[in-house]
Amino acid sequence: MKKNIAENESVLGWILSTPSVVWILLIIVYPVILTLWISLHQQKMVEVNPPFIGLKNYIDLLPSAKFLFELKLTVIWTFLNIVLITPVGVLLGLLLNRQFKGVGILRTWILLSWIIPIVATTLIWQWMLEPAVGIINFLLYETGITRSYVNFLGDPSISMLSIVVVNVWRWSPFMGIMTLAALQNVPKEFYDAARVDGANAWQTFWHITLPQIIPTVSVTSFILIIWLFNMFPPIWLLTEGGPIESTTTLPIAIYKEAFRLFRMGKAATYSIILLIVVSAFVAGYMMLFVKSREEVVK
């Protein structure tokens, strides 16, 4: 009897999971395999029977100065974003966790940057950052902070940072909301006990709040890092990788190779390398995460 049930459960499990497995195979596994296949060929546009060139695309690309520069920019982009989004987001979460008049409206208002479609918000930023007619330059000049135009998006030395600021504005609320959710799960008794023991605000934050929210903040940062590595819209909409390729991260390079230069083989090679880099990061993170959890359990 038990054996029959076990067999039936197993079969049922397969049947129920088949649609999801098929879907994952279709939208994830198949495209990755196809991309890998294309990267081994000199594929132009969508030509049929492109010549097989083995690993030539990888051998040409990996040591090239162009690729290394784009990889460096991608790492810088990711790093700058995460070191700004995390503290700003956590501060937002702490602020939104307080009870004061208008906190509901503030929560909605802060979330707007994340809810409004990225194309709309980014184009508005483009207008605001325009040196000759944009409002930011106007305010900087009128308040005496600057005495000439600041070319936020047209100056290669600051264009990346300018886009980072726009992106931090967009993604900090996401970190803020995740932090808020974590904060609201901190048992109130902890704070009561801390008050009884005479802990000040900083001590309460450092010894109670922070340890409680770190797991959530860590996981959110981890997810954000993966997204940031692959992020395309804000950079494309604001600078398309310019000026002088100073904002050409790997996703931008992939797009240009594929749809400006129609070098599908090279674009696929870029994509596979990006996949490997992100996967390596994920694997490293998971190893550290599992190790730290094991130590906690011990």
Partner 1 sequence: MKKSKKLILLALSVAVALSLVFTWPAKVSAEDIVLTLWHWETPPHRVEKLDEILAKFREETGIEVRQNPISFPELNSKILAAIAANRLPEMIWVNPPQLMILRKHNSLVPVTDIFKRIDAEVQFLNPSIELYRFDQEQLTIPVYGISWPLEYRADLYEENGLEPPVYWTDLLEAAKKLTKDLDGDGRIDIYGMMMPYSIKGNYGSQAVWGFLRTNRANVVEMENGKEKIVFNSTQTIETYKFLKELTKYTSPGSGNMDWGMGELQIRTGKVATAVYTAGFLSTLYRKGLEEMARKWKQKFIPRPKDGRIGHTAYTRGLVFTTTVISSKEREAAVKTFVRWLYKPENYAEMMMMEPVLFVPVVNGKSMMDAFFAKPLIGKFRGAMEVQIDVLNNSSVIGFVNGIKAPHAAELEGSFTLGAVLQKIVLQGWSVERAVEWGQKRYEEIIKE
Asked if 259 is part of the footprint of partner 1 (rule: CB under 8 A), the reply reads: yes
Question: What is the nearest approach in angstroms of partner 1 to the Cβ of residue 22?
Answer: 8
Structure token pair of residue 195: 């008050």
Contact 156, 243 (CB under 8 A): yes
Structure token pair of residue 117: 């479609």
Which of 57, 74, 122, 151 is close enough to bind partner 1 by CB under 8 A? 151
Contacts of 294 (CB under 8 A, 6+ apart): none
Cα–Cα distance measured from residue 117 to residue 98, given in angstroms and rounded to the nearest whole number: 28
Cα–Cα distance measured from residue 251 to residue 241, given in angstroms and rounded to the nearest whole number: 10
Cα–Cα distance measured from residue 113 to residue 171, given in angstroms and rounded to the nearest whole number: 8
Asked if 130 is part of the footprint of partner 1 (rule: CB under 8 A), the reply reads: yes
Asked if 258 is part of the footprint of partner 1 (rule: CB under 8 A), the reply reads: yes
> Contacts with partner 1: how many residues (CB under 8 A)?
43
Asked if 240 is part of the footprint of partner 1 (rule: CB under 8 A), the reply reads: yes
Task: Considering only the stretches 67-75, 92-100, 106-114, 257-265, report the one whose residues sit in contact with partner 1 under the rule CB under 8 A.
Answer: 257-265
Task: Considering only the stretches 41-49, 101-109, 167-175, 274-282, report the one whose residues sit in contact with partner 1 under the rule CB under 8 A.
Answer: 41-49
Residue type, 49: N
Residue 44, beta-bridge partner list: 263
**Complex with partner 1: residue 170 or 256, whichever CB lies closer:** 256
**Binding positions for partner 1, rule: CB under 8 A:** 8-9, 12, 15-16, 18-19, 22-23, 42, 44-47, 126-127, 130-133, 141, 147-149, 151, 153-156, 159, 238-244, 258-263
